[in-house]
Structure 1
């Protein structure tokens, strides 16, 4: 009875996931509106719409960014959960109760609030990119875009602005690996830094530095949150679906098919070896006096109890392996949905990782490349790949296939090594030739 009530409550919880996640996003949007009405005269949270100082503005901007993240997560869960549930039943429920209009109103309100804020604003301009792009070309393109934007109707201006911001972001991220200058970037960066330090408009320079620092801080926080989100959400999906949905279903199937004990021959062989070892241990301990001498009936009784224990253990292992297959599928679907609904966050993370990787010193880059190559494509890597393949096969309950393992080890590391060498030749050799030279010297 308790099991039925638990399953019913769990089912109700899953069925209410879309409504619950949408309500969370709606409440976060209400919080943003409350901040705007109380402190910014109903306008966007910005320095231009208030008389507060920098510290207060930073506090409110941090709060808004947190609520925007909650809105993005809530809408993502709302969309994902509706894909897993029975949409026809949901549609009937919505039409009967009138919730469809309420859902549309909530989504409309959320869109109105989030339209004022763009997560792409936290992307900081990379100094190495600024020295590559000529200022005159940038000014010309900016003037042309402003003229086009002024000539568009109001309903199309926001679309144009968003598209231009996306193009600017992509150009910034691609310029580091696709554009080269006549002079080294480090030399140009030094000249730009000296120019900023001796600029008579030092006040404006300080404001720009503070603004870049705030953007960098927001970008770092957003990148870390998004990376954690990519890790935590699939893991939670895996554990929740496996524990509350998949394992009970598979256990019920095994209950109706009691003749199924082992899902592959390898598990059956391991179970027989374990039972044989247990029986031989009983005989051995009785012969050397470490245990009481048992009669054949007593030994048979103990072996029978051990066989029952082994059967239950390997049956549970098979149930767990089958549940892992479907739980991993659900996790992969969730991971894909999160990526599909987080294009802006992906651009931010790419910019964040580019700055970290390309900001490393040349010996550090060479060290990481050598560490990666020796670990995955080096002399001792076949042993590591063999352990990984065996672990994956056991995770999914598959029998070990030595031929497949040897074929994989003979081909995949070679492909990986080829891709790495192409990346070094195609990109790293242009971006950081000194790092390539250091890598060759350290590798020799």
Structure 2
């Protein structure tokens, strides 16, 4: 990796100019490149429609395929629609910086729009299904509000629900009859299959987005550190850098390791397991060990500095994923709400007690201390015990207050039985 850099300043400047010209050319071609990739993805969808779906939309309604075959084409469709979405976002972002306009771009956009418009209904079904509340909105009686004096209590303002229809039979019997009628309707099976597919697609999108949120920052951090940050640091710091340690803790650790090596030589000599060494030979061994330790801690210092820049790049990549995934975030939120609200009251209470005990419980300070010390070592910072203890004395208290407020304000309203179970388990 070190030999990949030029040795002389002139070659280095020439190489940097070449890199700059390449990056400049790559940046200026970003709008056309992004739009071309989006058009290619749209064309792939059109080819599948022509060859396998009689020039119709990729759907089970167009051609009767088996479920496994349809699942394959559905995955192929989702993949290309995602490519179109990402590349169009890249095109719009880069076009705001680089102002270009020609007839070729308009033709490509026309081809893309023709494909995307066919599958807009699919996206609406996935995003709308399960994302909104099924209850009718409350309607405020504004005439009653105007009649109230200015000093009236806010609790006197009544929210009027839609009028409930009354009949001869109780509501439960009517609901049961309506459910039976809907189950026996001719389109009941198609409706069930459609709802199942929408639910399955929503679950696949949510799980895939969770994996992306985890893997993209980790891969970005690792790749940027190994192939970008570390080579630059090794070139800048050099092999003969006098500053080996970036904090006092690393220096103390290196001196402690060298002292242990000296004591081990003396211990082996006293046990007659090693021949007596002259002072010159002993100093030579100690010098070699010191050089080995310096190399080890120089690499460790470079790694810690590289972690800082790689983590920042990883944070930027995570922010980009969040900014480009508003629809996926809504679907993930709906999926998490379904999972959480589907738990029993005992399971909800168990998870709340588990989370609170881990982060704000009696034994949590030990865990916070280990976590903060590991973070300081990862970033190459000295692990100051005063800072760690100050953090432990304030942050878990704030978390505990937030947990108690959430339990008092929301859990008592959303799930009173879970709150009662929580109190029983806590006692």
TM class, shorter-length: 0.7 to 0.9
Q: Pairwise mapping of residues 162-241 of structure 1 onto structure 2 (< 5 A)? A: 195-199=178-182, 201-241=184-224
Superposition deviation, residue 207 in structure 1: 1.8
- CA deviation vs aligned residue, 1:32-74 (integer Å, no higher than 9, x gap): 12123334554543456x2536746555434312322333455
Larger Rg: 1 or 2?
2
Match of 1:34 among 33, 43, 47: 47
How many Å separate the matches in 1 of 2:173 and 2:358?
Answer: 37
Structure 2 distance, partners of 1:285, 1:255, is 37
In 2, the alpha carbon distance for the partners of 1:189 and 1:72 equals 46
Q: Deviations over 1:114-163 (max 9, x none)?
A: 34324342247349943x338x99xxxxxxxxxxxxxxxxxxxxxxxxxx
Deviation at 1:374, TM superposition (A): 0.5
Per-residue CA deviations over 1:154-202 (Å, capped at 9, x if unaligned) read: xxxxxxxxxxxxxxxxxxxxxxxxxx999xxxxx999967743453643
The corresponding residue for 1:133 is 136
User: Structure 2: where are the runs of 5+ without partners?
Assistant: 7-14, 140-160, 164-170
Match of 1:146 in 2: none
Q: Shift in Å at residue 386 of structure 1? A: 0.5
The within-5 A match list for 1:35-50 is 35-40=48-53, 42-46=55-59, 50=62
Count of matched residue pairs: 383
Q: Provide TM-score, normalisation by structure 2.
A: 0.77
Give the alignment's Cα RMSD to 1 decimal.
Answer: 3.9
Distance change in 2, residues 1:323/1:189 (3 Å): farther
Give the aligned partner of residue 297 of structure 2: 314
Once residues 385 and 300 of structure 2 are traced to their aligned partners in structure 1, the CA distance between those partners, rounded to angstroms, is 22
Distance 1:317 1:10, change over 3 A: farther
Greater mean deviation of Cα atoms: 106-115 or 30-39: 106-115
Q: Does 1:282 align with 2:265?
A: yes
Decide whether aligned partners of structure 1 residues 374 and 244 sit closer, same or farther in structure 2, where only a CA change above 3 A counts.
same
Tell me, yes or no, if the aligned pair for 1:32 and 1:67 is still in contact at 8 Å.
yes
Matched-pair contact (CA < 8 Å) for 1:123–1:216: no
Q: Secondary structure at the match of 2:382?
A: coil
Contact kept, 8 Å, 1:377 with 1:416, in 2: the verdict is: yes
Change in Cα spacing, 1:196 to 1:20, as seen in structure 2 (3 Å) is same
Residue equivalent to 1:66:
79
